[in-house]
Structure 1
Amino acid sequence: MSKQKPKKPKSTQLGLDQPPTLPGTQPNESSGDEEDPPNRALLAAITALRGEMTKIKDDICENLERRIERVYNDLRAEIVTTNNIAQVSITNLEAKSQTLQAKVTDIEEATTAHSDSISQLEQQVANLSVREGSEATKPRDFIANLLKDTLSLDEAPLIDRAHRTLRQRPNPSDPPRPFVIRLHYYHVLEDILRKAAAMRNLQYQGKSISIFPDYPPSVAKRRAQFNRARQLLRNQPGVRYGLLYPARFLVTHNGSQSSFTDPQKAEEYAARLTTTTTIPTPSGSTGRS
């Protein structure tokens, strides 16, 4: 008998190299669908990193919010403090401004009264319209007693020097030369000028006298150019005026103040003021001083 060769397994015949099945195991038909272990580890790491980044972002935002709130509160407190300091400063400035305005008003009134007593002989310290020779040989004593009696002073002022102006003696029919005097104390000079301005019409033994401050001739000439404007404004209701040194004409009408260095513009303004009730500040004025 001829021997028959053993048959090979079917799988072998089909040319499939399948691994042998171990005892107690089942072939894994779905092993090709599962992810590889390295990929799973990478996905887990990415997920963890994403969570960490989210936490870091939340921490940064929270810190920024706290810092912004702290800076905001600090700035707000500083603004409140600065505002309080500024308000106190403004209040102090307003109080000082009111005090200064009151002083300016007093000066204006004094200047107006003083300006009314000044006329054509402003360059002399004293212009006393009394007969030539009345002073005899003691002009200082004569003027001291004259001032004491005329101005009702407590005592005769101390005079360093007194003499008639140095020009030719006038004829008997002409006005006398004015006196020029030098007072020993400056505050006495101020008192005399203030009282003379307040009393206006001064009389000595039935004769009119006038007292004026002394100015250089050039200044006196410039100031005399405003005489016409002063005459127009004299006795006008609601009007105060005066001359500031050296020659600036100051006018206050119903609280509105104007100043002039041009005599012609001052006269035009004064002329309009005598015929109208309300006068706007003219273009030629220099504004409030």
Structure 2
Amino acid sequence: MADGNVGNAGDEVTRNLPILEAIKDLKTGFSNRQDGVLAAIAGMRKEVGECMERVNNAELRISGTEDTIIHLQAKVQSLESKNKVMEDKVIDLEARSRSSNLRLVNMPEKAEGDDACLFLEKWIPEALDIPSLNSKLTLVRAHRIGQRSDPNAPPRTLIMTFLNDRDKMTVLKAVRAKKQLLYKDRPVRFYPDLAAGIHKKQKEFDAVRQKLRTRGIGYGMLLPAKLLVTHKDKTQTFENPADVEAFIRRIEEEMPGRTGL
């Protein structure tokens, strides 16, 4: 009976041997695959670590670059501010150097003869009907601007410097009061002698001045380049056209029915 049991057990082992071999093979396969997966994971971890290190380095460089950009932007803004101050000072100095000057446009060539100062000192009081300046007006210097290369070109501008700034203002006031100024039936015009920078700044107000004119709002230019606006007995000074645009919009809101900007 015991021998029979042993025989049966041996037979069962024999029958299960392929299964055991298959299980062993599966374990070996799983082990090999697991080793491969673990190796792949280790490789990926290494690559991810290297990638993270590169990302961190890149972030540090970007952060440093951003800090540099912020510093440079602040420096540029500071330099722009200083440059604006210097530019304004230069324009102001040039305006002061020209404050006693006037320009005379369209005066025929050679009308002044050999002595432009003497000619203008006599002609200006007579043409503008300013008896108070007779035998009193004194010019420091007067001359034409530029060279005349084409005889058919318009007359060169005459520029003059007054000894007394009060006399210059008297002349300007008389010019504004006179509708037309003639020299031998030829229209001539006086203008302040403005520096190029001031003239450019004043030209920036041309569009808003036109809008003020169409709305019947009084205005005037203050040297070097400020717009003086009077509305409802209130006077305001503007240093840039954008502020004037905003002022006009406020007026339009107060007066419905008027044409907007």
TM-score by length of 1: 0.45
Q: Is the helix fraction higher in 1 or 2?
A: 2
